[in-house]
Structure 1
Amino acid sequence: MTATTLKTRLLQLNCHFTWGLLEKDGEIDEIEERLHNQLEFLVSENKYMVYNLLAYVKHIQRDYTESIANLDEAERNCLSTSNGSNCKLLAIYGNYAWVHYYLNQLEKSQLYIDKVNNVYKKLKQTKDPNDIPEIYGEQGWSLLKFNRIYYEKAKDCFEKALKEAPEDPEWNSGYATVVYRLESFQNIKCPDQKCESLKLLKKAIELNPKDSVVKALLGLRLQDLRRTKEGLKYIEEALEQTPNLPYLLRYVAKFYRRAGMIDEALDVLKTAVGLIPNSGFHHHQLGLCYRSKMLEKKKIANSGYQNKRTNSREIQELIQKAIFHFEMGLEFKKTHVYAYIDLANMYREANKCKNAEETFQNILSFTKLTDEEKQQIHFNYGNFEQYNNKSEKEAIRHYKEALLIPGTSRDKNKCENALKKLAERKVTRDPTDASGFSLLGFVYKIQQKSADAIECYEKALKLDPYNEEYLSNLCELKLAI
């Protein structure tokens, strides 16, 4: 078989090489680190999926010796837990075929294509070979672990897997997890009866009561729904089951921190960092805890109930601890956008304005920012310019940038409010300042209050009749009506 013909057959295989996992979409070194940690700490019959994805990651890194070694482990793990079913081997054999193709070992590649075909031949006797839940489920988990931009595709995969195997614990856990993440990522707020992830997480726990991580996710979702006491019950159950599982501890700490149990969160996170010292997530969470303690101390200091000198020293110590952990977190997770924003804001607290400026500039140069991330950066950068650099002009520029980005978020709303306050202050301070009315008109335009926006731009034009920007906006608004 020629290399061209072989490539055509390889593209028909159902495995990581054909699932659209693009190198440009993943932080490959970080994914590799996470997968190694999972192999060390996760106790599961499905470790073969971790080895399989790791083999694909090694292909991206052009390390084919390690890629083959991981596929060997995947096959070994799969054969020892498959209970006579060969369906789980399909993606492994497909990956083998691709790796040997890249090594120019065409005969070996052909051999694994034949192995895939043999599995399908046996399957045809009992089921439709196009509806294999093991394939859809593994694809779902791989997409889920690779990048959040694949969450919708992962959800579709789990739905297909569950259509064929509705009571499978692994696919139910995967489906519940991805729906939970999508709701969190998209900032979806809904009442209990309409919260999709709530039902799915409960079902996943019923099917697999030993899954402590899913239990923790349920606890967090209940906390989101203001059912903290009920959520705490699941958190404590999960912690009792696997007290030394880092992936559980991250969620337990998050629950405690949001519940105001900061010392408990710190204890849990210190245990987690002891287990995985290079976890960017855990260090970021530690930074958030120290920030919470710092804010509480500042509140007490402002109330005047404690010795000011002692309180000031303690506040500075907490700021430095928060900075240390935010910086450490970014050492290990260099693309964690929200950690950069938290670090920049903590530099502000420490009066390290140059560091804050550099940090904001750094994240704005990232090429893979979501609209929500951009809005949050511009809101915080605008705050920094307004209150630290005392530059109204630059603050306005950042708030406007956020408002021009499509989609709504909490930070976009904050920018809207901040801009409106600045505009109203400018108008009150100097009623002859056309820019104040123009700015107010811009806010009303964003809010789709056309009549108010037209009125403001007309006032601005009266004060500055030859301003092209004001005239352009006014014409656009009137034409739209």
Structure 2
Amino acid sequence: MIQTSKMSMDRERVLRRKLHQLECHFTWALTKGDIDLPKVLNSLEEQLKLDFGKKEALGRGYCALAYVKFLQGFQEEALNNLMTSVKLYIEHHEEEFHKTLIVTYGNLAWANYHMKNYTECESYLQKLQTINERYATEASSVPEVLGEKGWTFLKFSHKYYERAKECFKKGLELEPEDSECNAGYAIALFRTEIEDFTMENSPTIKQLRRAIETNPDDDVLKVFLAMRLIRYKRYDEAEILVETALERSSDHPHVMRYAGKFFRIKGCVDRSIALLSKALEQSPNSSFIHHQLAFCYKIKKIQLLQEGNHHAKGSWVQQIRDQIIYHLEKAIVHAPCFITAMSDLALHYGERREISRAEELFQMTFQTAKEKNDDLYLVSFYYAEFQLHCKRRQALAIEHYMQCLKLNPSSPEGKRSYYSLKKIAEKRIRENTQDGEAYAILGFLHKEKGENRQAIECYEKALSYVDNDEYLRNLCDLKMSIQ
């Protein structure tokens, strides 16, 4: 009995060592806490519908879907999806030892190991050994594996975008003409490029053009390129690209949703709503589309409020606010950890004077952001807006604007926090030239921008009007930093 137990443990240990050397979802450090599983599940299921008839793409989709199901605890369903993936790959390539099966066989080995089907696990490890011997290359250097890994990182979490970029880049070094890696690299750059480039030296624009060359039928890429071109006021070329994409792929939900986003950015809100509504008919569970529609209705609300005569238009504003809330609620049903949508929804509850409901959702959103270590600056910004505009509690608003600015000064919300704080401080100083706290806010803003001498002047002025240990500490730290 003891001998049998020891043999079982040894077998398990050997398997575990071999499994950790594989290239598959189980070894790619996909942390469950980083992934909004319902959102990824919806996205993958939608992609499977779009890929209908494309056996290789479906094989990759079912392989990724299986991993999500495994994370959700549906092990048998995961196993069935993996067997579907194997069947599709074999039908497409007409062989069971093609390199495109590396990831699926790896997932099958891991899934069977977790389910204690050790004999099955060993059989898949043997299949992988046969593939490795046949291609005489490490799995980590197979372009098809790098492509599948890159797409997985792109789909599973924004935290993995940089890793996706590295995978596609390595894949292109091995096969520069690979259309999948060219498309993936273009999208990864699109989602990560934050530096200021001219149109001529933008890596994203260059790679999108390259990807379209190798994927001339991919109309989604054309819309991505159009969205980047309008940054540089290349409206004519951008609009031609979008109209061409819509003409060629008028019923493609991804073309419609991104074209809808394009027209919103361009200022054509009604056309954006029309396209997004049409896309929603095909993809009713898309948190992205619901969020984009909420965005459009927010613009309409702001336009109405800016026109004045708020009392006469109050019912219109309320109707539009109700539309915003409807779409934000739908967005978080389909993506329960969608922090931006949760924060915006809480703010709109506040605008509708549902204060306790707003507070409850804000606290839940803060907790989600802390647990995921993600987007805390966003929640801080929206909560500051809520405190300032819905509850008229300026002190709390200042605290949370500062928190947002400290956490992510270069984000749109960080920049808006900066200008909100500046506006508050300057208004208070106009009303009372001896407002020490207002000068301290300006000191904080200078400090965050690295303008230490101006910050010192503001903190000294603040301390001349009010005794405050924190201001004094900040002043001492600043003086130490410039000595």
Q: Note whether the superposition's TM-score is higher than 0.5.
A: yes
Return the offset for 1:349. Answer: 4.1
Q: Name 1:102's counterpart in structure 2.
A: 114
Worse-superposed segment, 234-243 or 49-58: 234-243
Alignment match of 1:10 (pick from 19, 22, 29): 19
Q: Deviations over 1:207-263 (max 9, x none)?
A: 111112222211211123322221122222222232222222210111122222222
Return the offset for 1:88. Answer: 0.4
Inter-CA distance 154–130: structure 2 relative to 1 (3 Å threshold): closer
Query: 4+ residue runs of structure 1 moved beyond 6 angstroms?
Result: 369-372
Q: Name 2:5's counterpart in structure 1.
A: none
Alignment match of 1:114 (pick from 126, 133, 136): 126
Matches within 5 A, 1:51-450: 51-82=62-93, 86-124=98-136, 131-183=141-193, 187-302=194-309, 309=312, 311-367=313-369, 373-405=375-407, 407-450=409-452
- Structure 2: give runs of 5+ residues left out of the alignment: 1-9
Matches within 5 A, 1:17-36: 17-36=26-45
Q: Percent identity?
A: 33
**Distance in 2 separating the partners of 1:431 and 1:300:** 33
**Distance in 2 separating the partners of 1:401 and 1:241:** 47
Q: Which amino acid aligns with 1:284?
A: H
**Distance in 2 separating the partners of 1:351 and 1:207:** 53
**Distance in 1 separating the partners of 2:36 and 2:71:** 11
Inter-CA distance 368–228: structure 2 relative to 1 (3 Å threshold): farther
Return the offset for 1:406. Answer: 5.1
**What CA RMSD, in Å, does the superposition of the two structures yield over aligned residues?**
2.4
**Distance in 2 separating the partners of 1:355 and 1:462:** 42
Return the offset for 1:458. Answer: 2.4
* Larger relative contact order (Cα-Cα within 8 Å, sequence gap ≥ 6): 2
Return the offset for 1:351. Answer: 4.0
Worse-superposed segment, 375-384 or 42-51: 375-384
Native 8 Å contact 1:87 1:119 kept in 2 = yes
**Distance in 2 separating the partners of 1:370 and 1:107:** 37
Q: Deviations over 1:427-472 (max 9, x none)?
A: 33333443233333222222322222222322333334x5322322
Q: Which amino acid aligns with 1:122?
A: R
Q: Name 1:462's counterpart in structure 2.
A: 464
Q: Which amino acid aligns with 2:382?
A: N
Counterpart secondary structure, 2:119: helix
Q: Name 1:49's counterpart in structure 2.
A: 60
Count of residue correspondences: 470
**Distance in 2 separating the partners of 1:33 and 1:470:** 49
**Distance in 2 separating the partners of 1:470 and 1:130:** 54
Return the offset for 1:290. Answer: 2.1
Inter-CA distance 18–120: structure 2 relative to 1 (3 Å threshold): same
**Distance in 2 separating the partners of 1:162 and 1:199:** 14
- Structure 1: give runs of 5+ residues left out of the alignment: none
Q: Deviations over 1:276-329 (max 9, x none)?
A: 222211112222222222333333444x9xxx74x4333322221222111122
Inter-CA distance 376–23: structure 2 relative to 1 (3 Å threshold): closer
Counterpart secondary structure, 1:193: coil
**Distance in 2 separating the partners of 1:57 and 1:376:** 27
Inter-CA distance 406–259: structure 2 relative to 1 (3 Å threshold): closer
